[in-house]
């Protein structure tokens, strides 16, 4: 066998191995209640598990996972584990709507980890019931936008940029000059509108009076204990407590499987986040737009 033939067979074998790994990743698997090894689940009733980890920048995979469990007749409930300081507004709203739709079809329970703040709390508020640990950091009901300015730096190095627009506010927030009073008012109106959407959806999801929600919607962070007193969550408890609640609620056997449908992109993103020296940090000034995010919890 010549060298080229050996290289071909080695590459072909590598391709087969990679395909197998990807297929295994997207296959449905279940984790035993004792936290044991994952086993494939194809038959019998199950509880779907969806994990929302890190900064929320897109919603496509998460919404797909939620909808798949909602439409699956074998799935009798959905358990959503949130470990997130929030993220971009639109993806958070899309996940909120997916959870709310799922909660109308079957019990959809949220378990909060260390952090489920801002957009992380926003999506949780659509669930049937919310569990949090006493020290979980949640709340942070507010909207943030950061704009960089480097006009002084450009002046120091002698660089001038000329901008032409059609529309008075087309370059509002430009980093090469200071904001005008008109632009500040313009952005403030947008922030206020998005903040109002946040408050209205929480009131809807938690069945609360909207004026009551406004009282603590100033971006403050709450512990799980404080959130319970405010009615932002339903009970204190761990992920395992949430599992036991679902078993009791639906009279399920102890060996009921809790199944995850993980997409390869989600697995890859979580792996890269875990090995990144930045630890998943997210500098807002490198991203445009408005965010439901608790930046101090990044």
pLDDT at 212 over 70: yes
The pLDDT, as a whole number, for residue 151 is 79
Q: What is the mean pLDDT of the chain?
A: 83
Strand partners, 38: 31
pLDDT at 153 over 90: no
Confidence at 262, pLDDT banded by 50, 70, 90: low
Give the residue extent of every domain in the chain.
31-141+219-275+283-297
Q: Which residues, other chains included, contact 61 with Cβ-Cβ below 8 Å and sequence gap of 6+?
A: 263, 265, 266
Reply yes or no on whether 118 is catalytic.
Answer: yes
User: Minimum mean pLDDT among 156-170, 228-242, 277-291: which range?
Assistant: 277-291
Confidence at 9, pLDDT banded by 50, 70, 90: low
The pLDDT, as a whole number, for residue 180 is 87
Arch. (CATH architecture) of 31-141+219-275+283-297: Alpha-Beta Complex (3.90)
Confidence at 44, pLDDT banded by 50, 70, 90: confident
Catalytic residue among 170, 265, 274, 276: 170
The pLDDT, as a whole number, for residue 245 is 98
User: Mean pLDDT throughout 266-290?
Assistant: 52
pLDDT at 14 over 80: no
User: Mean pLDDT throughout 233-256?
Assistant: 97
pLDDT at 37 over 50: no
Biggest distance spanned by C-alpha atoms of the chain: 78
Look at 9 and 55; give whichever has higher pLDDT.
Answer: 55
Catalytic residue among 118, 125, 140, 294: 118
- Three-state SS for the chain is CCHHHHHHHHHHHHHHHHHHHHHHHHCCEEECCCCCCEEECCCCCEEEEEEEECCECCCHHHHHHHHHHHHCCCEEEEEEEEEECEEEHHHHHHHHHHHHHHHHHCCEEEEEEEEEECHHHHHHCCCCEEEECCCCEEECCCCECCCCCCHHHHHHHCCCCCCCCCCCCCCCCCCCCCCCHHHHHHHHHHHHHHHHHHHHHHHHHHCCCHHHHHHCCCCCEEEHHHHHHHCCCCEECCHHHHHHHHHHHHCCCCCCEEEECCCHHHHHHHHHHHHCCCCCCCCHHHCCCCEEECHHHC
- CA 58 to chain CA mean position, Å: 8
pLDDT at 33 over 70: no
pLDDT at 298 over 70: no
Give residue-wise pLDDT tens across range 238-249. Answer: 999 999 999 999
Confidence at 158, pLDDT banded by 50, 70, 90: confident
């Amino acid at each position: 066998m010549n060298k080229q033939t050996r290289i071909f067979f080695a590459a072909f074998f590598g391709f087969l191995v990679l395909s197998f790994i990807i297929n295994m990743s997207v296959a449905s698997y279940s984790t035993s209640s004792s936290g044991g090894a994952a086993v494939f689940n194809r038959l019998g009733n199950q509880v779907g598990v969806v994990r929302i980890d890190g900064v929320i920048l897109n919603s496509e995979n998460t919404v797909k996972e939620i909808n798949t469990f909602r439409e699956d007749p074998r799935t009798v409930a959905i358990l959503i584990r949130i470990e997130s300081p929030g993220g971009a507004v639109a993806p958070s709203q899309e996940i909120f709507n997916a959870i709310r739709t799922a909660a109308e079809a079957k019990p959809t329970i949220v378990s909060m980890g260390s952090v489920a703040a801002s957009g992380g709390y926003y999506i949780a508020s659509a669930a049937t019931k919310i569990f949090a640990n006493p020290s979980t950091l949640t709340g942070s009901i507010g909207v943030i936008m950061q704009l960089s300015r480097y006009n002084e730096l450009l002046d120091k190095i002698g660089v001038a940029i000329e901008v032409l627009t059609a529309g008075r506010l087309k370059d509002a927030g430009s980093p090469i000059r200071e904001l005008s009073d008109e632009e500040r008012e313009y952005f403030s109106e947008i922030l206020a509108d998005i903040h109002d959407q946040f408050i209205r959806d929480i009131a809807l999801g938690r069945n609360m009076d909207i004026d009551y929600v406004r009282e603590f919607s100033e971006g403050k962070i709450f512990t799980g204990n404080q959130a319970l007193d405010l009615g932002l969550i339903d009970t204190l408890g761990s992920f395992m407590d949430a599992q036991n609640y679902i078993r009791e609620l639906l009279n399920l056997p102890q060996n009921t499987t809790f199944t995850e449908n993980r997409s390869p992109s989600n697995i890859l993103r979580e792996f890269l986040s875990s090995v990144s020296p930045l630890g998943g940090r997210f500098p807002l000034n490198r991203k445009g737009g408005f965010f439901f995010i608790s930046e101090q919890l990044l």
